[in-house]
Structure 1
Amino acid sequence: MPKYNRNFDLTLSDIDLIEAALNVVKRDLSLGREGSRALLPQTDDENHVHEIDDLLGRLHNQKIFFRPSDEPYVSG
């Protein structure tokens, strides 16, 4: 039985491209366009929008956002 590759060599632009593609597929599914459903793997529950939201959330949570360290940070 084959094993999964646990080492990935992705650049930041690769992650951005994946994120953009997921957003496009999610938009198409939300608008009822059935062409993008054919691109997705078959699952039992067919709740692809929820799975895409979960994956986008995990990608977002792995990002480290810049905050200046030499002066007090004021958001907004």
Structure 2
Amino acid sequence: MSNYNRNFDLSISDIDLIEAALHVTKRDLSMDALNGTQAMLPVDATEDSLRKIDDLLGRLHNQKIFYRPTKGTYLGG
């Protein structure tokens, strides 16, 4: 039996692309749910998909390391 590949070679731009695609998918599923049109998924599956996407986006966000300079004034945006 084969094992899962636990080592991934993804660049930061790859992660950004995945994150952008998840945001687009989440937006489309949310708009379909608001408009009452379920394109291909039943209502329960849409809600479950939205929860999974939110969870994955949260886990991606929590793995980021944000830079904050140690010297000088920090001007955040």
Tell me if both proteins adopt one fold, taking TM over 0.5 as the criterion. yes
Q: Which runs of 5+ in 2 are unaligned?
A: 33-37
Structure number with the higher helix fraction is: 2
State yes or no: 1:56 paired with 2:61.
no
> How is 1:6-17 mapped onto 2 (pairs within 5 angstroms)?
6-17=6-17
* 1:8 shift after superposition: 0.3
Structure-1 residue corresponding to 2:21: 21
Structure-2 residue corresponding to 1:34: 39
Q: Which runs of 5+ in 1 are unaligned?
A: 38-44
Distance 1:74 1:20 in 2: 26
DSSP-derived class of the 2:53 partner: helix
Q: TM-score, normalised by structure 2?
A: 0.76
Q: How many residues align?
A: 68
Structure-2 residue corresponding to 1:42: none
What is the identity percentage for the equivalent residue pairs of Structure 1 and Structure 2?
63
Q: What RMSD in Å do the two structures reach over aligned CA positions?
A: 1.9
Q: TM-score, normalised by structure 1?
A: 0.76
Structure-2 residue corresponding to 1:66: 67
